[in-house]
Amino acid sequence: MDRRTDGIAKNTGRAALAAAGLAPGVRAAGSDEIRVGLLGCGGRGSGAVRHCLAADPGVVVVALADLFPDKARKLRDALLKDPKYKNRIRVPDDAIFGGFDCYEQLAKSDTHLLLMATAPAFRPWEMMAAIQAGKHVFTEKPIATDVAGCRLFMEASRLAEQKGLAIVAGTQRRHEFNRIELMKRIHDGAIGELVGGQCYWFGGGIWYRGRDWEMTEFEWQCHNWYHFTWLSGDQICEQHIHNIDVLNWCFNGPPKKFTAVGGRATRDYSEQAKKVAQAFGRPDDWAKYNGDIWDHIVSEFEYPNGARCLSFCGHGPGTDRSNEKIVGTKGVSDCARRILDHKGGKIWEYEGPSVNGQEQEHVDLIRSIRAGKPINHGIRIAESTLTAIGGRIAAYTGRTFTWDWLLNASKNALVPDPSKWKPGPGLFFPIPNGAAPLE
């Protein structure tokens, strides 16, 4: 047997594989295999599976699943054509799963590790099915779109801890060497006590997808998921969670209080929505197909030590900003590479090697599995997702509330039970007016 030299676990023999939850009888020629299945074969899923393949030469892809199985077949065929993955894509037709129960079919497949990249709404149930089936998991962020989903995901994460299973989330900043070294210094007091900060994710806009073939409304919503809060969580969850997660990293945990405002001023897909409404035979009811997410939310997060941080996110013309800043009593940092004093003098700057965080997160995940010490970031990513949801709820309702209320008392539940995930009528909510009931 070859001995791997990945810098973490050189001995990946039978005992190490058994400790890691891998099937010791499954081997690739000359190496130990990690059999991977992908759930969600769109753009992010396509990227995730390629990053996973790049992370470890023992990774082989053996199953693909998507609501729309043609997407899975298309991805399988594209991977087969890439010479980089020769003999590592082994997905027969009967290992391609489709439909709303494809996550359950994938969980039953002969795999060690599942990658999850579907619409965020479905992720808590997908995670629970995977963990119950004994799979290690890489999951994209956010991990839910409502409070109820975060609670279910946390339950699955605790079960994974009991079963010795790994969970790594797609918050790639947590895996970048420069940020890791910088955070060590922040936590060691290099900028003193943290007193405030800001984080941003403004972009120019997002895609809007029309109706393909004879999709039902519910299928079309899943195809066009970003535009509906119950499916995406709004932009504050889907994208801005990266920056919010960095703030939580600075403070080693979530905020204690939430206040926010926002609205929908420029987000308009009327022309596309009218075409979709026409395709469904509902030309006079086109407005609901325009989506219900906002285009800007500004939140204030108050952390347990009293520090207050501002969060700015949204989409709009001419905007492009995604970064963070943290302020302490002794200095400030860009949360990426530098620490300065309050006069602009350099205290510290990272000068080491750089890595692709989206690939390194898979490297870290697989190394932990091979070492028999699976890492579990489930609770952490659930807390960051819940922080983003808290900002959204505060903006949609115009109310201030605490973390304790959000985690333990909120009845926020947008996503229907899996028994209702099926072709048929869509699930449409009115555009929030900023004064919704707090529940």
Provide, rounded to the nearest whole percent, the portion of the chain with pLDDT above 70.
93
Q: What are the CA-CA distances from residue 44 to residues 66, 75, 80, 223, 434 (Å)? A: 12, 12, 18, 14, 31
Residue 218, CB-side half-sphere exposure with 13 Å CA sphere = 13
Rg of the Cα trace of the chain?
22
> Which residue(s) pair with 115 in the sheet?
38, 138
CATH code, 14-173+360-375: 3.40.50.720
pLDDT band at 2; cut points 50, 70, 90? very low
The mean pLDDT value of the chain amounts to 93
**Which pLDDT value is given to residue 213?**
86
Looking at per-residue confidence, does 46 or 25 come out higher? 46
Q: Is the pLDDT of residue 64 over 50?
A: yes
**Which pLDDT value is given to residue 5?**
27
Q: Which class is domain 177-353+383-420?
A: alpha beta
What is the pTM (predicted TM-score) of this model? Answer: 0.93
Rounded Cα distance, 276 and 217, in Å: 10
Rounded Cα distance, 137 and 106, in Å: 12
Q: What are the CA-CA distances from residue 396 to residues 233, 337, 439 (Å)? A: 12, 35, 11
Residue ranges per structural domain of the chain: 14-173+360-375, 177-353+383-420
Rounded Cα distance, 162 and 191, in Å: 37
Rounded Cα distance, 368 and 8, in Å: 8
Average pLDDT over residues 272-277: 97
**Which pLDDT value is given to residue 21?**
44
**Which pLDDT value is given to residue 104?**
98
Q: Is the pLDDT of residue 3 over 80?
A: no
Q: What proportions of the chain, in percent to the nearest 5, are helix, strand and coil? A: 40, 20, 40
pLDDT band at 45; cut points 50, 70, 90? very high
Rounded Cα distance, 272 and 418, in Å: 29
Q: Is the pLDDT of residue 162 over 70?
A: yes
Q: Is the pLDDT of residue 10 over 80?
A: no
pLDDT band at 6; cut points 50, 70, 90? very low
Q: Is the pLDDT of residue 166 over 50?
A: yes
Rounded Cα distance, 117 and 238, in Å: 12
Q: Is the pLDDT of residue 75 over 50?
A: yes
Provide, rounded to the nearest whole percent, the portion of the chain with pLDDT above 90.
90
Average pLDDT over residues 47-72: 97
pLDDT band at 65; cut points 50, 70, 90? very high
